[in-house]
A and B are shown apart, each in its own frame.
Chain A
């Protein structure tokens, strides 16, 4: 399904009309100077063929073999939170990543989740896993299935509880869809890792009797940053093809369609790029700002090397 909010239309309604696609392009242009330095590289495939866009993004980010060693067991984490349009990772992107992993010589590929099989079926993601011969490992929300992981330099979160099955794998490919979030305004690579953390531990990200005051929201964002200190994906492949920019993270909501897939290892830089796509200022998103301040990645777009290519 293609539903496009015209750019002009989106700019009129977006709170951050001054940024958006034009901003992302500007960031890409500005980043060219970073190419000669040891800058994080972000690959962006642009086009309505989402499978090809994903392949292009990974190629621009350095090629799949840079992230997936031959013989590796690979864990995948797409977003299956909701089946409302623009709220879950597109099946075509999952297919592309599975095929890339095979090409790199992965010995085993599994999607890990504590969401329900129905959610995987409803989003069409299970059909792709089945067709491509990848595994789907669903876990009950049983705390014994999650492994305590100390958070180095954790501020709000001292210990994460990560699906133990992750540690049976050699590499994690984090595959969120970027989208709106009513709580902290933005979902991207960092937020998506809550899908590997135990639901009970995730609940601690919200303060008791949370009244959505600024401190509560900051606590949530800090907890997300802390979780990302404990879990480091080998690669992030972000669906920025068509996503909700209102009523997130669940939808249904207003759709925006920049038709991009974004890949790389630097979660802060990637999230900053994705936020700018739809008119958000990366520094205004607490998790991105703090991620940058606390060493998770590069928030300054001039210091990232963004490679965009149409397919």
Chain B
């Protein structure tokens, strides 16, 4: 754990002095991540509880033993952790992840949200679930967890989150690929931005399919129950190669059955759970439409192409 090392401890201390003294927000760099954490008294009624922890790079496996891979896939740099408590004994834990890029932070934000929470005006986007909230801003993703759902705890979650938000001058835009999802009927909270196979297999399992080495991907769910996945490749040639590999897998695995008629221009398969999947290569992208019936799967693909 990096926080035990002297030089990094000094950085952490510097961050806390800045935060505690109510210093003006400074541009956030990789050495001042801890400065985003509110100091004692910065959020009325809430104070720090316990020591700050920090994990850098591969040390994330120490903190999230067995669960760090998805952060690494998106591009992880470091995380700081700090608990807060109020006078009534309520607790809030804060994790601020510094990712490599704003796209990585946005991606982890979308990966972690259920889509069923309430959108909250924090950072570049935030969502409050039953007892926790996530928001992203630039390269940062903040996850705040309460340990009950009482109004006092939820108010504390929001107050601490707003304090973090106010300390960051980061900016970041939603990746352009998200715009490949047609807006009509899209459930915006369902959007998942993906950077690798681990994320993809968590939103739709392709199991042992090879050749899916896309550069980025996005998935969204639509009113009516269909979904669209857009895989972006580096070039048309890369997409051609990937699609050839995936198609060969789909045609030979027992996990998918060919469902489309021979005359259908868009290859159609049915997965083990009865869902239809339509595949439409186009330029450097591969569009995958998912639906409960063939027409739903084909329609969502055609809408996007």
Contacts and interface: CB of A to CB of B under 8 A. Distances in A.
Contacts of A253: 112, 114
Interface string A240-255: 0000001111111111
Contacts of B67: 81, 181-183, 248-250
Nearest to B114: A254
29 contacts: A1-B148, A15-B204, A17-B273, A84-B145, A181-B67, A182-B67, A182-B69, A182-B202, A183-B66, A183-B67, A183-B69, A183-B198, A206-B61, A211-B73, A211-B196, A211-B197, A214-B207, A214-B208, A214-B209, A217-B201, A248-B67, A249-B64, A251-B145, A252-B129, A252-B132, A252-B145, A254-B129, A284-B205, A284-B207
B66 A212 contact: no
A82 B93 CA distance: 12
Given A85-B131, A181-B66, A247 B112 contact: yes
Interface string A193-214: 0100001001100100011111
Contacts of A213: 197
Q: Sort A-B residue pairs by CB-CB distance and give the 6 closest, nearest first.
A: A212-B198, A252-B132, A182-B70, A214-B208, A250-B67, A249-B67
B46 to A, nearest CB: 18
Q: What band does the interface of chain B fall in when counting residues whose beta carbon is under 8 Å from A? A: 35 or more
Given A85-B147, A284-B205, A3 B65 contact: no
Interface string A154-184: 0000000000000000000000000001110
A289 to B, nearest CB: 11
Contacts of A16: 273
Q: Is the interface of A mostly helix, strand, loop or mixed?
A: loop
A295 interface: no
Nearest to A203: B61
Interface in A253-311: 253-255, 281, 284
Contact of B114 (A3, A13, A83): A13
Interface string A13-54: 101111000000000000000000000000000000000000
Contact of A281 (B66, B147, B208, B272): B272
